[in-house]
């Protein structure tokens, strides 16, 4: 079993920045692609960003491209999401995700979702 623990959410004004972190409990974290998803009130879960196992390739939803940056530190088993120029529509609970079918970034490109989730961290952007 893999445990994922997110942190870093909060309340920020539009145009501000936040950095989310996700710490994984297993060493195999370093061999898996990882992703971030979010769920806004009354909306379906939405893909945000994903990163390959070695951090060399990334993939973003169009809505966050050029504003968000996903990264990872395999030594610390930590996944991060740097969010800049935040907008009210970014308000959501953000979830760390891993454990896709083949543990590759392509799984996320194909619309896949991993079987492991964190508990989520709330991001609220005021206008």
pLDDT at 96: 97
Q: For the chain, which ranges sit under pLDDT 50?
A: none
Q: How far is CA 115 from CA 6, 55, 69, 98, 123, in A?
A: 16, 20, 23, 6, 23
pLDDT at 55: 95
pLDDT at 27: 67
CA distance 62 to 110: 15
pLDDT at 70: 98
For every residue of 57-100, DSSP letters joined together read -EEE-TTTTTTEEEEEETTTTEEEEEE-S--GGG-EEEEEEE--
Secondary structure letter of residue 26 according to DSSP = S
CA distance 127 to 124: 10
Give per-residue pLDDT as tens, 10-35.
999 999 999 999 999 876 788 899 99
pLDDT at 26: 75
CA distance 4 to 78: 9
CA distance 2 to 60: 24
């Amino acid at each position: 079993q893999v445990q994922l623990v997110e942190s870093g959410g909060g309340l920020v004004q539009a145009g501000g920045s936040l950095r989310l972190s996700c710490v994984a409990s297993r060493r195999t974290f370093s061999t898996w692609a990882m992703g971030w998803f979010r769920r806004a009130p009354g909306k379906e879960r939405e893909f945000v960003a994903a990163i390959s196992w070695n951090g060399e390739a990334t993939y973003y939803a169009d809505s966050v491209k050029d504003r968000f940056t996903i990264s990872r530190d395999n030594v610390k088993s930590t996944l991060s999401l740097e969010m800049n120029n935040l907008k009210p529509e970014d308000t959501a609970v953000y979830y760390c995700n891993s454990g896709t079918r083949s543990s590759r970034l392509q799984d996320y490109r194909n619309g896949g979702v991993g079987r492991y989730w964190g508990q989520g961290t709330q991001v609220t952007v005021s206008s």
